[in-house]
A and B are shown apart, each in its own frame.
Chain A
Amino acid sequence: MNLLDLFKRRGSAPVARERLQVLLAYERRSRSQPDLVSILREEIMAVIARHVQIDQDYLQVSMERGETMSTLDIDIQIPNKSARPLAMSA
């Protein structure tokens, strides 16, 4: 930070306000209706688990909730040895 930045530095309150607005918009919605992104995550996982054994170590789920759009990333590494129907291994 140079000297000029020090003098021009704006307060952190506007950041707090924006973060709260985005968060509360989401939380208010999810109070009245179940969280769509969470439901999708559960159901997608269930479908995949029916066909392949999912190792929790090879699973990355991330969500990014935005003001107008949310994204859900599900990254599953399926080792080739387990990429066979569960019915056969049972």
Chain B
Amino acid sequence: MGKVVVVTSGKGGVGKTTSTAALGAAVARTGKKVALVDFDVGLRNLDLIMGAERRVVFDLVNVIQGTAKLSQALIRDKRVETLFLLPASQTRDKDALTEEGVGEVIDKLRSVFDYVFCDSPAGIERGAQLAMRFADEAVIVTNPEVSSVRDSDRIIGLLDARTVKAERGEQIAKHVLVTRYDAARAARGEMLSIDDVLEILSTPLLGIIPESQDVLRASNLGSPVTLSDPTNSAARAYIEAAKRLEGEELPVVVPFERKGFLDRLFGRRAA
């Protein structure tokens, strides 16, 4: 039985889709069978980030409504043969998803794949709740910024209340993935530090993805950053995060920026 991981955040634009693609590809590279499911019905983008936008024929809504088989809708990645994508529908709205339908699709995926990553839409409405509904684990993507941290806290509350696992009285495993972390700004006390974010959310850390031009470059190319150039700092951080997700005990190293000349001269430091 595979593991179902929801990638969620509440807030939009923090990097859910990028992180779903990067983590999923990193796990699949190790030979595990991985399915990425886009739940953002009406505003799909995982296909674009994965570079599969021209290969979409059927989607999640077709499978739920029985107009396509799951095997027909799954798109195999051209780079990693154990990596598959189940796109969202672009023309329908979120009401096209039913809880029973989503549950059946997730059950089938779980029986075939080692990992099922559910890319949640932003918000806390129906789409986001269905994406998390059947999850065993959650990756909460958070930027070190007040509105993102607040929304993450809200999502953590929903994960503990509205998932099937939580309703059974079990704990859903939650991990915070801090993205767009700028070590220089954090060192100057201009950005919430990793400790601040973890203390406020009191949820374990999966990884820290540094702000990086390589992430934008990867989406321009339609390739998860962990496949396009696995050696850059963002890709390495995602690969390590993926290993932690698989249970490996790897210490998280907070990206460090040497202080500038002026900072040292005047002893400016983070509080």
User: Min CB distance, A62 to chain B, in Å?
Assistant: 22
Query: How far does the alpha carbon of A27 sit from the alpha carbon of B157 in the complex, in Å?
Result: 10
Contact B189 A11 (CB under 8 A): yes
Q: List chain B residues, Cβ under 8 A from A11.
A: 188-191, 270-271
CA distance A13 to B269 in the complex (A): 12
Q: Which residues of B contact A59 (CB under 8 A)?
A: none
Complex Cα–Cα for A12 and B190 (A): 5
Give B262's nearest chain A residue, CB to CB.
A7
How many B residues have CB within 8 A of the partner chain?
Answer: 20
| Among candidates A8, A9, A13, A23, residue contacting B196 with C-beta atoms closer than 8 Å | A13
Determine whether A88 belongs to the interface, using a CB cutoff of 8 Å to chain B.
no
> Which segment, of B13-21, B59-67, B145-153, B231-239, faces chain A?
B145-153
CA distance A62 to B112 in the complex (A): 56
The answer, yes or no, to whether A47 is at the interface (CB within 8 Å) is no
Q: How many whole Å from A4's CB to the nearest CB in chain B?
A: 10
Contact of A14 with B189 in the complex, beta carbons under 8 Å: yes
Instruction: Give chain B's interface residues, CB within 8 Å of chain A.
Output: 145-146, 149-150, 153-154, 157, 186, 188-193, 196, 200, 266, 268, 270-271
Interface residues of A (CB under 8 A from B): 7-14, 16-17, 19-21, 23-24, 27-28, 31
